[in-house]
Structure 1
Amino acid sequence: MSRNKGKSRDTADPAIGLEPNPFQGMRRKLLVALGVATLTPFLFVLVVGHAAYTNAVRTGSMETMRRIVEDHGRMIETYLRERRADLELLLDFEAHGELADTDVLTDRLQWLRRSCRAFVDLGYIDEQGRQVAYAGPHSLAGKDYSQAEWFQATLTKGVHISDVFLGYRNEPHFVVAVARKVGEQTAVLRATMDPHEFSGMVERIRMGSTGEAWILDAHGRYQTEPRSGAALLSQARVPEQALHPGRGIHVLEAAGEDGTDYLYCAAWINNGKWLLVARQEKNDAFAHLQEAASWIAAIFLLGGLIISVLAFTISGRLELALTRVFHEKEGLRDHLYRAARLAEIGEMTTGIAHEINNPLQVMKSDLSYMEMVMTDMVEKGTLQEGEDCAEVRTSMEQLRLQISRCAKITQSILQFGRQGDSVVQDVELRAYLPEVLGMVEEKAAVRGIALELETPPHPVFVRADPGQLQQVVLNLLNNALHAVEEHHPDGGGKVVVLCGPGEKGMVDIEVRDNGCGISPENMERIFAPFFTTKPVGKGTGLGLSVCHGIVGRMGGNMDVRSQPGRGTRFTVRLPRPQKG
């Protein structure tokens, strides 16, 4: 259907009273609404899920670190107990005085080193603190340890593990010492432990790629060497909270001496004398959080993109559908307006036809009177027959013919437009159809369209209202003439009307043309109200819908077959009269 390209249906047209499209620009509003309605809960779920996951990962990482430190502390405690047990075993099974022999002591040191390389030397010390025998790399035989803190603690408790100190050798080390009664005297067996070997064992903690562990004494001095680098016995620079964790195992977050954020975990070992400290960079400990954050960002971007595309598509379709409904509503109002105008024109046409019919009757009467007067004058001899008289008679005959023709047209209009209830009766199509075709034969002739009627040799009756049947056939003929004229503007068009018996007690009336045909997509809506393929002002879209309803009320049906570019065939099926 053509449209005025100079005007948009989305804006008001004061000439026909169209309203502005209220759905114009709704796509943006729908897009925003759908975006907010979908992205908000989506983002909320992601944020809440990330927060829950973060909390779970943080808690899990801290619990894992606490468990690792706890297990590592047990391993160190076991290691120290084993070293103490080694010394107790030597004292318990050696005969009196054998360990006071340097050669025997050296042999026992070699035996101990085979099980633990951390043993540096052995010393056998009497009750007065004098080292009676010594086996090791230093010259410490005869040294007096009576005033050494570790010696006094060993005599008091029977066993002692010292902090790291310098001693006579002036290098960091710590000792494991045990005391036993040998006869009337108390003997002390002391073993010096290599702090570097011990540090290697402490360092074997596994916490990511940045995890490390070390041991501090009660004053915060390094007892083992941390991986990050610090000298033994140097003061540790760790958070105050880590140095005083209290009882149990404590995990905290704090910045290190280099400004890096760490997770610290501390636990007391060696009967509360040493503090085992482990730390790991937060980025390493919470690496899963960064990975999860990356995944969440990717999911949000991908989900947001999918939601945006869906929202854009759905909003576009909604706006298009609403705009289509609006245009259909406006078109319906336009069609109703035109249909009302046509109804008014029809009423006016009926009135005009009635008014014209009265002068025609007068003219017909006067023409008859003129013929009677002329005949009387000829008979009386006052008017001589001749060429002039013959021309007058010919003119009067032509006037009578034209008056009859005009009267026939007005009578057809009055019959077509008369109001009242439907009167169904027997209609003989062989006599009825020529009258209907006569109403459009002049139009067909002017347009160069051949109009043909094919009827069977015997009478064909149908049960129908003559006026309504005339409306149906005229509508089909006018549509056929329009289609043929459009497809054959230079002539060659043809419209054929046929009638004859059909199936199941019906009679078929066919209107065929070789016009432009109907496209397949329009075939589904051909009988829909207000559907038309004609330009604006050339059709209302009501004709076929009304005809379909009329035929249905008369007990018949209609169908259509068409091939685009070749022509169309409408078939009206009406019931035959019942035999009485």
Structure 2
Amino acid sequence: MHEFLINNRDELIERCKAKVARRPRRAATPEQLKNGVPLFLEQLTKTLQAENEGHLGDSLRISGASGGEASAVSEIGISATAHGRQLLELGYTLDQVVHDYGDLCQAITDLAVERDAPFSVDEFRTLNRCLDNAIADAVTEFSAQRDLTMARQFSAQARERLGFLVHELRNSLHTASLALTALETGQLPIAGATGAVLKRSLAALTLLVERSLEEIREPTEPPTDRQVFSLAAFVADASNAAMLQAEALGCSLTVRNVEPGIEIEGHREPLLGALVNLLQNAFKFTRPHTEVSLHAHAGEDGMVSIDVEDHCGGLPPGAVETMFRPHIQRHQDKSGLGLGLTIAQANVQADGGTLSVRDVPGRGCVFTIRLPRHGDRRTKARGPGEALR
């Protein structure tokens, strides 16, 4: 058999490529074949040649013993392990790992029948032993690497969810602390605007904890508590919460009047958290004793825009493209997690909106939330899934 394999090596490889190409969404690539069919074919040939010459020790060193001893390392085992890892990196499935070696066995059998090449029973046993050991090692490594990859992905997702939760808890707690300090030092009535900020912050903390407990007990779908609310009241709540931080940092917050009657439908608390995040971010970056402005208005395109503008001096090159990526921190204060803008964008997008940033060189930047206006005639006239025109 070893002479047959040497003489027909190229033909066998081409037949394996053809078999792979006939499967859905598959194609034989140089990367896939590097530790696969060609190398295995070479090792199989060497094994058969060693046995034909009576060198049984060399045969087992190349291909391994029947049944695959876990403590013994063979050439086929090493290359098959690398091949299994490689196929995982290329996005293949477990059954495709097995098929890669089965293709060669089928190609050898078919070509031998076509050319009337007689093989002995011992040669077929050696072929099956080599295939069995190669498949076992490739599948074992493929499964181990896949499980490791899945574990890492799960861990990364868990850290991301924990980071989001901690960030939102911290923001609500910080706002509540500012409100409490203002109430104590200014002897303000608890029923006033500052008291309302404190109550909303505590309510947000309670909601975050309750939802976290629900997810621990049993994973749930995203919250569905959408509501229709006034844009003017929404902006007022955000500005009241942000004003406390503005005063603490020595900045000023200018809020333009909002046209009455404009409404939004969505998850109010997450959207409010997104807007407060933008304002807090603006206060962090704006230059000392400068102004942060908040302007909300409805456009003729059926969308509501909420702009937060600061005086940070402008953005560095490339900042716009990376602004909303998680764990990106541009401020010298690294006490946060770098998740504020990422969470804000996710909250806005969850209600069909967008969050973007525009650089104003030499002056600052403008963050803009855009959300569909509730009750817009064009919104009512559109069919499901139809885009705004």
TM range (shorter): 0.3 to 0.5
TM-score by length of 2: 0.45
More helix by share: 2
**Greater C-alpha Rg:** 1
